[in-house]
Amino acid sequence: MAWNVFKFCTALRALGSIMIVLVLGIIGITYYVIVVANYGPALFHGGLDSFVALLVLVLFHSLLVMLLWSYFTTCLTDPGGVPPSWRPSIDEESGDADPLVGLAHEGGRCILKMDHHCVWVVNCVGALNYKYFLLFLFYTFLVTTLVTSSLLPKFIAFLTVGEKNGTPETLVATFVTFVLNLSFALSIMGFLIMHISLVLGNTTTIEAFEKKSSPKWHYDLGRRKNFEQVFGTDKIYWFIPAYSEEDLECMQVLQGFEYPTRPDLDELQLF
């Protein structure tokens, strides 16, 4: 029987509570540094300082709400699975027996359009929560970039001028927050670019490594339709971790493997 790495994904669940605490811890120290230690007090300085502080705080809180909304939606949304009766016997491309056939009998589970298992969200990323995961990356990148930009002048002043306004604990927290957010912003930027290219090609991380090279990917419907399969057709919902009623019908089609009745969904791909 072929060795299957996916059955070991269940071992990653042990990291679940630790990763959630880590994410909330990073957000907590960032919130303290931006709101409590720096830009909160700056609101009362008057003049340009108060205006800049207000702008930073409004942007920070707005983006933080979207980040947390996207994060917990990704964590709590079922990524989607295939019907219990579905049992592929042969891999269509290689002609070999599919190692996932017996996975259900070993306590595992097939994920619909699985991209990967993410320890940060303590969940598999699949057809039904891929949009939420991408929005989580997007808003995390925006928040970390905002925090890095906001703390950069204070970081430079500390290194060059030796400005030491605040307690030693506050200075250490500011330094750590700047380094952490800069690191996350740079790493997430590359990760986000990679996933955008996958969305536009209607493929997943696993498929990108497993599919055979060919001039035309079988499920590529064009960038517009590929994008809409993940983010929906309603532009109002593109940047919100939710779907319109019509797009929810599409998600139900994916979950139930039913054929859509709407004419504009005739080309809907399940894999």
Active site residue 118: yes
Structure tokens at 145: 């970039």
Instruction: Give the separation between CA 156 and CA 152, rounded to whole angstroms.
Output: 6
CA distances from 109 to 105, 171, 226 (A): 9, 48, 26
Residue among 75, 118, 124, 250 flagged as catalytic:
118
Is 271 part of any domain? Answer: no
196: burial class by Cβ within 10 Å (0-12, 13-18, 19+)? middle
- Answer whether residue 99 is part of any domain: no
120 part of a folded domain = yes
In the predicted model, is pLDDT for residue 102 greater than 50?
Answer: no
**Which tens digit of pLDDT belongs to each residue from 181-217?**
999 999 999 999 999 999 998 888 888 776 655 566 7
Q: At what angle do helices 130-160 and 168-200 cross, to 10 degrees?
A: 140
- Is 10 a domain residue? yes
Q: Is the pLDDT of residue 95 over 80?
A: no
Are the beta carbons of 57 and 40 closer than 8 angstroms? Answer: yes
Instruction: Decide if 209 is inside a domain.
Output: yes
Whether 101 maps to a domain, the answer reads no
Number of domains forming the structure of the chain: 1
Residue 188 lies in a domain: yes
pTM for the model stands at 0.80
Q: Is residue 179 part of a domain?
A: yes
Mean pLDDT rounded to a whole number for the chain: 79
What's the DSSP call for residue 36? I
Q: Which residue range forms the structural domain that includes residue 40?
A: 5-82+106-265
pLDDT of residue 66: 97
